[in-house]
Structure 1
Amino acid sequence: MPQQQWDRVPIDAQSVDAPLSQSAIFLVVTVKDNPTALEQACSALDGIDDLIKTVGFRDLSGRLSCVVGIGHLAWNRIAPDRQPTQLRPFARIEGPVHVAPATPGDLLFHIRAERADLCFEFERLLLDSLGTSVTVIDEVSGFRYFDSRDLLGFVDGTANPTGVDLPASALIGDEDPDFAGGSYVVVQKYQHDLNAWKAIPTHVQEAIIGRTKIDNVEIDDDDAPRKSHKSLATIVDADGNECDILRDNMPFGQPGRQEFGTYFIGYARHLWVIEEMLRRMYVGDPVGSYDRLLDVSTPLTGTTFFAPARPALQRVIGAALARLAPKISQE
């Protein structure tokens, strides 16, 4: 996309394009089904900027940020009159062997910083402000692992767009002007069977991933009988153009509990790109030739959100609070 088309995108796109951080917390909650709870949740969202400043001021070099994503059902409650054109719930995917489940989630908070304590303190104060209005569905603390590797030992996020390609891949443009600068977000929590993975010879692991393990060199598997994770996750549109997404995956785990995983989070300008990527992984291309990484990586969650640009988020939340005020006063 020509650079000049992005001159009209709001400058503050909710930190979607913030640099990859050393620490992160992924927090997914549902909002209780009553006006008082919705009003309290919206008030907390209205105060996100101030909360970032309050915590982040302790160490500006810590680069604290938080992206807020809103799910389809919650969006209908918060802004029933207008929603992003592609926003829809995560659809369960049933492949020949593996299933991608769909799990609840009204709000996503993608909290990032160079220091784990900044993420922790921000989440603590955020949950205080949300109070009893929400139920925590999932909470994952992620960390950057050596040279951006996952716990399987491979570099993760190599294919991320950079420079002018980043907003063109991750942020909505003129196709939905009311929500320009926003992004569709899909999250999945994967748990790895590291013992099963370690039993696989390195050259087979490399064929499954599509890259060499030590030096991260891409492997050409176009003529291979079984496509790699890298090839299945490469999406091309009807005109032959490769469609990218922005990933900010993080490893997580507790060795004492034998918990090892990757939290997948993908930001996309077009939701169908992530949906097609996941369909190819689980169903296969050709059908049946699913992503062999799934034999050792089990998805536990799957939820779709929309992260509006900050000005749009402020407009939506402000309108919701004004609409909810009379209902609260009548209770």
Structure 2
Amino acid sequence: MPKIYFSCLFLIAVFALDLHAKERFNDGPYLIYQQNDLLQFDIKQNHLTITPYQGPYSIPEHFSIAKKDTYNNVEKWAAISDIHGQVSIFITLLKNNKVIDAHHNWQFGQGHLIITGDIFDRGDTVTEALWLIYKLEQQAEKAGGKVHYLLGNHEYMVLRGDERYLHPKYVSTLNVMQKDLKSLFSANTVLGQWLRSKATIIKLNQLVFLHGGIHQDFIDLNLSLEQANQHFRNSIGLTKKEMLNNPTHIALHATTGPIWYRGYFRDAQLQQTDIQSILKALDAQRIVVGHTSFEQLETRYNNKVLAIDSSIKNGIKGELLMWQNQQFIRADMQGQHSSFFVE
């Protein structure tokens, strides 16, 4: 993908803000369009620097929406969820399980990496995680593989400006940059445009991947995955009040909607027959979700629901779910593999 270059010279604007902060911090880059220029905002030791963007990331003129939301015959894949600003655990899992190399570059070949949402909030290395995914996405494409970054409830919250779950570091970022959260990831930014191109639900090898879960209410909407993903994209940035004008948006963002639903683990009335009915409607064999946290990977409903939020958000450890050699594999921080379940 082409990079954006600048032919004119810019002055470097440096703002030394004395925040009287207890801890100095770094953050960035944030790439923001201003008129016809792409500017890079970096914070080093609480000082904001604004320069013309020179690299190293490849920035397309437009971020393309994936041409399809269903993928078949993928020989190997890895799935992870709810990283929540814990990039070191994310890197350790990917590196020790040979998805990336020691230099954090893609080495998974034609494999697919699926991230079922919630990169944002809680932890203090959200920006680093976003740019790592951004880079790996491009590297995977060149290798014949794929990175699927699916949006979770915290992505949608951030994109509409909800600051309640930010780590204090990012509150400081907003203060230094004199911006609110919604503008930091608006459609006038590189990361904001990139996020707006993402899907929320995909199907891969007859498995449906998403953040929260599929409730019968979603099935009753009678939407294809492509239609659902486009409705979700159209809802980005809307306030709850603005969503009231669109019944589909209301349903998608409800507590039984795909990014919020926790019923697989909390609804005592839900039966195996209910899960089978949902899977039949989706023409799928299993559903893979994050959102509801456990100490490790879990299964429910005779292995038809696979739960992959392994509490990475706590900053201690996590697990990957992998598919290799026709087996579901539990992959840990040390790169040790064990069978996830046997049928």
Same fold? TM cut 0.5: no
More helix by share: 1
The TM-score bracket by the shorter chain reads under 0.3
TM-score, structure 2 as length reference: 0.26
Q: Taking CA–CA contacts closer than 8 Å with sequence separation of 6 or more, which of the two structures ends up with the larger relative contact order? A: 1
